[in-house]
Structure formats: structure tokens, C-alpha cells
Amino acid sequence: MKFLSVCLYVGVLFVLVDLNYASAAKKEYYNDVSDELEQNSVDVSDEVVKDEERNRYGKIKTTYKKKRIDYYDESDESDESDESDQNDFIYACDKNEKDPICKCENEALNCEMQNLETTNIFISDGSFIPKYVNFKNNFIEMLEYKSILPGMDYEIDLLDFSHNFIHKIMNKSFDPFINLKVLRLSSNKLKTISSGFLTLKVGTSLHQLFLDNNQIERIPAFAFKYLNNLKKLVLDGNNGLQLSKDVFPAALSNLETLSLDGCQISRLDDNVFERLTNLKVLSLRNNPIYYIPRAINAISNLVRLDLSGTEITELYIDQISADHNLTEIRLSNMPYLYGIYDCAFCDLPNLKIVDLSNNSQLYFIHENAFGSIINKKYPIATLKEFDIRYCNFSNLPEKLFDWTKIESLKINGNPFNCNTDLEWLTKNKNIHFETNPKCANPLSLKGMYFSNMTKSVLQTYWHGFFTLKSAIVLFLIVIGFIALSASVFILHKILYNNVPSRTSGPQYTVLPTKV
């Protein structure tokens, strides 16, 4: 019995010792962990900051959803793929960095010339919401859905991707940009256009589309079928671009400006523009067009027409006959244009601006080119600006129009012959020249400004001219008289020398008489 009591006492003692040891070991363990955490406290805080930055994307998405914007389509991929893509962000406009990628100021995100290959940009400053985004002059090759400023797209008005290497645009790439008004895709590598990225959502807000200087040769029929609100379309510099009626569907009835400069267009179908019922500005500069296309006459509301740099050689009646709203026509820098004939600009009663400058071969314009002499259909246009600088005119018709009503008259750089035929222009002080023209001929007046052509100068010139002319005539008369006298003298001498002389013979003093 006593032995059992001793054993029990010893067992209790061992248990107490073990518990004390365990408690001490646990305390030591926690002390070690605490020391380790204390040593690594900076690293842990850094990781927390990075996590917070990554979580801002989620906060932006939450704000986006609060605005009741349907950002994700039902066919979108799972959120897991979105979370995996978060690690691919490039953080922009970081105030803590000395040279941050992109600049955020005045509602504009400027990422020009940042050597970017992606548009998957995350703005570090969560309070900054851009309206204008500039991605010009980078190395972007493709645009993808939900990879263009994801979560920041709902306020953006303008996107500029000019001067990149974009050759492919995925379907619905611009769908999240519900307020997008201007889209610039100039100077890229695009070869075709698709309604896959010019969707109905894009067409709801888009007003201006720039596709100039790409490699587009063919535009599929109705590629623009959803762009109901488009006002301006620029397709300049797409060499070999082929156009047809179906390229410009009825959906573009609100289009006001169309630019097709430098597309190597040599001909246009007569009906190619007939659905563009509200088109006001058409530019076909620097195309190998050698006549004014009839398609232009189908645009009833056309206000401005630019055919500069084309290969048209002459302008004559009825080439532009139905554009009664036309107020401005530009036909400059045309290397082969030499003549403008009778009534070429008739039937254009609202015409205000005519630019014919830098046509080095243009030397003739008919006095009735604007219908000021004979015009049976419409009232005569009252021009406000007339530009014929650096052409080849030596004279201008006085009856072309009322020169005194032109507010901006530019005629310098022509080889004007300041003779009596042009006296009406040099003397009229009510004609207002934009720049002071000069005389090129005659030599005695070469280089003299029209403004210096006073009455006394002209009288002096004409007095000198007639004096010189009289002297020349008198000199010619004297020379003629001398020449005539010399001719008579020489002729007389020749005739005298040719008279046959009498032959000498025997002399008879006594002649026999008849018996």
C-alpha cells in the first residue's frame, strides 16, 4: 500500500515537470517567431502595398458596376482568366517613380513614344479617369478585347493609336468604350476593315474614324453598316483602295466629311456616293484622276470639293453642274491643267472660294467662266476669295466677275504683261490684292508692283514707248530710203554697162550717087 502511494506521487511529479517544459518550449518558439517577424517586417509591408495596388483593379471594376454599365458580355471568359491577366498590367502615371510610364494630366493619358507593345495599362492613381488617350509612336501590333485600359474605358472620348504596327484588331475590341467619339488608327499595318470591331456598340457613339496611311486595298461590303452617327471618315494614303457603292451603306447617311487623298484612285463609279445624302466635304487630292467624276454631281448637299493634285487638264461646261450648294472648290497644284473654258463654273450660285494656285501650266481662263456674261439658268456667284498665285497668266479678262467685290484676291507670281490690255487692273484702286502683284513684261516695267503703276509712270512709259517706236520707224524709213537709192544706183549702173557699143569701121567721105 505504501509502495503504491510512492509510485503515484512520482507519476504526478513527472507530469508537472513535463508541462512546465512544454510551456517553456512554446514560449521560446513564439519568441523566435516574433523575432523573425520583426526582422522581416519591412518585406511584409512591401508585399501588402503591392497587393493593395493590384486590388485597385477590383475596386475600379466595382465602381464600374455601380454605374450600371454592362461591362462584361454573357459570352465572356471566367473571372479566373481576368485575375490571371492582372499580372500582365503595366503600371502608368506612378507619382512615386522618377520617370513614370505615361503622363496623366488634364484628363489626358499620354503614352506616346514609350516603347509599349501592349495597351494593357493600369493607372496607379485610382482617382484619375482619362478622357483622351494617346498611344502614338509605339510598337503595338494587335488590339484585343478587354486589354485596352481595362476598367478605365467608360469615360474615354478619344483613342489615338497612330503610328504603330497594328495589323489585327480582335472582334469587340472597342465595345467597352461606350462614350468613344474619335478613333485614330492612322499609319498602321491594317489591310482590311471589319464590322467585327466596328460594332453596333461602337457605332452608337463614334463620330470620327481615321484609317489613313494603312495598307487597305479592299473594304468589305457594309463594313461600316453600324456607324450610324459617324460624321467624318478619313481613308487617305491607302494605295490601290477599291471603292464601290456597298462600301458606303445607307448607315452613313449622317457622314459629313469624306477624305480619300492619295489612294491612287483613277476612276469612280457614278453611284458610289449616292447613299451619302448628307455629305458636305469631299477631298480627292493627289489621285490620278484626269476628269471630274460624275459621282460628284450625285452629292446634292456638297459644300466643299478638293481635287488638288489631280491630273485634270481642262475645265469646261457641265462638269460640275448639279452642286448648287457648293461654296468652295480647290483645284491647286495640278501639273497638267492649262485651260478653263466658257461656263466652267456656271450653275454654282453659292460659290465663294476658288483656289487655282500653283498650276504652272494654267494660262487661259474664259471671260464667261463664271457665267458673268451669258448665264441663262442661275444667278452669278459672288466670290469672296479668288486665288491664282503662281500660275502662267499674262493677262486676265476684265469681265470675268466683279473684281471689286472680292475680299481676298491673290494673283501674285504670274508673268503679267502690263500693257493696255491689263491697264484696267493696274489702275483700279477699288480692287484689293492680298499681296501686291508685279509686272513681268515689258522689260522696262519688269519687277514693278501694281501699286506703283501710277498714271504718270504709265504716261512716261507710253511716251517713251511711242518715242522709241517713232525713232525705230524713222530709222527704218531712212534705212529703207538708203537701200532703195543704192538699189537704183546699182541697177542704173548695171543697165548702162550692158548697152552694146558701136563697132569702128572704114570712113567714107564721098558716096556714089544714083544715076
To the nearest whole percent, how much of the chain has pLDDT over 90? 53
Closest C-alpha among 177, 200, 71 to residue 130 = 177
CA 288 to chain centre: 17
Cα distances from 340 to residues 88, 167, 263, 361, in angstroms, run: 63, 45, 26, 11
CA 124 to chain centre: 36
Q: What is the largest CA-CA distance in the chain?
A: 239
pLDDT at 471: 60
Split at pLDDT 50, 70, 90, the class of 190 is very high
The pLDDT mean for the chain works out to 81
pTM of the model as a whole: 0.75
Neighbouring CB atoms inside 10 A of 121's CB total 24
Residues β-bridged to residue 353: 328, 385
Q: ω before 500 within 30° of 0 (cis)?
A: no
Grid cell at residue 434:
492680298
Grid cell at residue 77:
471568359
Q: Where are the domains of the chain?
A: 48-74+83-163, 190-302
DSSP H or E stretch at residue 79: helix 79-85
Residues β-bridged to residue 9: none
Split at pLDDT 50, 70, 90, the class of 64 is very low
pLDDT at 420: 80
> What Rg do the C-alpha atoms of the chain give, in angstroms?
45
DSSP H or E stretch at residue 474: helix 455-497
Contact predicate 232/256, CB 8 Å: yes
The least confident of 168-177, 251-260, 319-328, 400-409 is 319-328
Dist. CA 305–CA 285, nearest whole Å: 10
- Which amino acid would we find at residue 155? E
DSSP 229-288: T--EEE-TT-TT-B--GGGS-GGGTT--EEE-TTS------TTTTTT-TT--EEE-TT--
Split at pLDDT 50, 70, 90, the class of 454 is low
Dist. CA 512–CA 382, nearest whole Å: 113
Question: How confident is the model over 95-142, as pLDDT tens digits?
Answer: 777 778 899 999 999 999 999 999 999 888 888 999 999 999 999 999
Contact predicate 359/393, CB 8 Å: no
Residue 264, C-beta contacts closer than 8 angstroms, at least 6 positions apart = 239, 240, 241, 287, 288
Question: How confident is the model over 299-319, as pLDDT tens digits?
Answer: 989 999 999 999 999 999 888
For residue 473, pLDDT over 80 is answered with no
Grid cell at residue 18:
513535463
Contact predicate 272/299, CB 8 Å: no
Residues β-bridged to residue 234: 210, 259
Dist. CA 258–CA 255, nearest whole Å: 7
Split at pLDDT 50, 70, 90, the class of 73 is very low
CATH fold for the domain made of 190-302:
3.80.10
For residue 38, pLDDT over 80 is answered with no
Mean pLDDT calculated for residue range 378-395: 93
Closest C-alpha among 140, 146, 90, 147 to residue 117 = 140
**E strand residue ranges, 118-181:** 121-123, 132-134, 142-143, 158-160, 168-169
